[in-house]
Amino acid sequence: MSFTSLEFLCFLPAVTALYWLCPQRWRWAVLLAASYSFYMSWVPWTGLLLAGTTLLSWLAGRRIAAADAKAVRRLWLALGCGGPLACLALFKYADFALETVGADLVLGLVLPIGISFYTFQTLSYVVDVYRGDLAPEGHLGYYALFVSFFPQLVAGPIERPGHLLPQLRADHQPRWADFCQGLVLLARGYFKKLVIADYFALLADPVFAAVGEANGPGTVAAAALFAVQIYCDFSGYSDIASGAARLLGVELTENFRRPCLARSVRDFWRRWHISLTQWFTDYLYKPLGGSRRGRARQVCNMLVVFLVSGLWHGAAWHYVVWGGIHGCYLAAGLLLGGKLPRLPLPERLNGWARRLWVFLLVCLAWIFFRAETVGDALTLLLALPTELEGCPVTALGADVLAGDTALRSVTLQVGLSTVEDGAFRGCTALEEIVLAGMTPSDCLVGQGLLEGTEATIYVEEAQLTAFRLDYTWSQYAGRIAAR
């Protein structure tokens, strides 16, 4: 039962109506039953794993708060964190680890949907109780609802217990403003997901599915399209989650805050997947030392956080590389003092230039995120300069490309009517001129076309004789060959 399914569109109004019709003391039970029904609609047995993780972390929190001995507290901390992490490692990363070490064994376990999200929520609860930042939740039902609350269970945001638990316990009254805001968020989320993200995926997916055939302009376009697609996909789901929760009187954490307006990569991560960024900051970056132990240690901490962040997104090396790239971006920004060179432009235009620069850096990293493998991502990156050299030419005047010593390949397409004298004079690296689907009558060619080059003119095999005999092309007959 995904958010975009007809079943969910029937499920949400029914749950909302039943929730508001029930007395306050039973509302938690309605939401808990609805949440487990929603979650188990995918793979029923995964509800047992969710319940087991919930029970273990709840018990750990209770025992930590009750214990006086530090060793006992640490033991329950290890159990409360180690159990959920062990489940996450087994179901999400076991096959990845076996493949990495070259083992022949493949477990092929079903990945429980949302396990990365609810694992992090249980970890934050146990750690917060251990630190003394949060009192343990005494009511198992409310805690189980905190872990499994269906609007944010499978796609975030990652909620903190101190923010969500009090709202689940509160005596909510139906408010017209909440219903209106919830419906607006739902409409916005569905528009982002179904209209923009899914359509842009149709445009970008073919490039990533056939990387061997990709060209430079296509790769640039696909990366930009995917950047918009993944934003509308992720933020669309977050909007749907927030809208569904708002119908129930609950306000979820803001997860995306116009990341396209970021003026630095650091600013981007203040706006992108905010709940995940804050989680890693509080529970990994700061415990590692944060910025308190010198610049070199801070850089290392950043890299560790983003490598782990990449692994959290998916069990594959291309996700790890994507995280590493962003870690390097932030480390470079830290070492450079976060300052970019100013252009001789008004401040307003400088701001937009910085935003464009950040967008290009983020798009470069997205290639690794979207590609199936690191090798595929590198193939797309390597295609950029080679295909930009060989991008289709639709109009060619005299000396337009003359003297370009880096140019190696040019494709002339149908629609090009004239190639004037000296068009490629001095292009010493030029190896081929491809006449794509053209006949001799399609284009008039001037003199000196190949002067100073070693290039060969390639034509369709069926047109080879015609080109060699044509009165304008015959001057190059000895250097015309079939493709």
Q: Are 261 and 186 in contact (CB under 8 A)?
A: no
Q: Are 29 and 168 in contact (CB under 8 A)?
A: no
Q: 31: which residues sit within 8 A by CB, 6+ positions away? A: 15, 19, 145, 149, 150, 168, 248
- Rounded CA gap, 16 and 245, in Å? 9
The amino acid at 121: Q
Beta bridge partners of residue 457, listed in sequence order: 433, 480
Report the alpha-carbon angle 319-256-266, nearest 5: 65
**What size, in residues, is the chain?**
483
pLDDT at 344: 67
Buried b vs exposed e over 305-334: b needs ≥16 C-beta within 10 Å?
bbbebbbbbbbbbbbbbbbbbbbbbbbebe
Alpha helices, DSSP H only, in 336-477? 347-370, 374-389, 464-469
Q: 258: which residues sit within 8 A by CB, 6+ positions away? A: 271
Alpha helices, DSSP H only, in 191-264? 198-209, 216-247
Rounded to a whole number of angstroms, the distance between the first and last alpha carbons of the chain is: 52
> Among this protein's residues, is 163 annotated catalytic?
no
- Rounded CA gap, 337 and 340, in Å? 9
- Rounded CA gap, 122 and 161, in Å? 9
What CA–CA distances, in Å, run from 332 to 46, 120, 303, 352, 353?
Answer: 42, 29, 11, 21, 19
- Rounded CA gap, 390 and 458, in Å? 14
- Rounded CA gap, 175 and 180, in Å? 9
Closest CA to 413 of 396, 388, 430: 396
pLDDT at 387: 45
- Rounded CA gap, 430 and 390, in Å? 10
- Rounded CA gap, 320 and 325, in Å? 9
Closest CA to 361 of 394, 390, 332: 332
Q: What does the radius of gyration of the chain's CA atoms come to, in whole angstroms?
A: 29
Q: 414: which residues sit within 8 A by CB, 6+ positions away? A: 436, 437, 438, 442
pLDDT at 469: 78
Q: Are 362 and 323 in contact (CB under 8 A)?
A: no
Reply yes or no: is the peptide bond before residue 341 cis, omega within 30 of 0.
no
- Rounded CA gap, 396 and 404, in Å? 14
Beta pairing, strands 456-459 & 444-445: unpaired
Tens-level pLDDT at each residue, the chain (483 residues): 888 899 999 999 999 999 999 998 899 999 999 999 999 998 999 999 999 999 999 999 999 999 989 999 999 999 999 999 999 999 999 999 998 888 888 888 889 999 999 999 999 999 999 999 999 999 999 999 999 999 999 988 999 999 999 999 998 888 999 999 999 999 999 999 999 999 998 888 888 888 877 778 888 889 999 999 999 999 999 999 999 999 999 999 999 999 989 988 999 999 999 999 999 999 999 999 888 888 888 899 999 999 999 999 999 999 999 999 999 999 988 888 766 666 666 777 777 888 898 999 999 999 999 999 999 999 888 888 754 444 444 445 555 566 677 777 877 766 666 777 777 777 778 888 888 777 877 777 767 677 777 888 888 888 888 877 777 777 787 888 887
What CA–CA distances, in Å, run from 34 to 100, 137, 160, 174, 404?
Answer: 39, 21, 21, 19, 66
Residue tagged active-site, from 139, 172, 273, 313: 313
Closest CA to 40 of 153, 121, 117: 153
Q: 351: which residues sit within 8 A by CB, 6+ positions away? A: 263
Beta bridge partners of residue 445, listed in sequence order: 419
pLDDT at 417: 63
Burial of 473: CB neighbours in 10 Å, binned 0-12, 13-18, 19+: buried
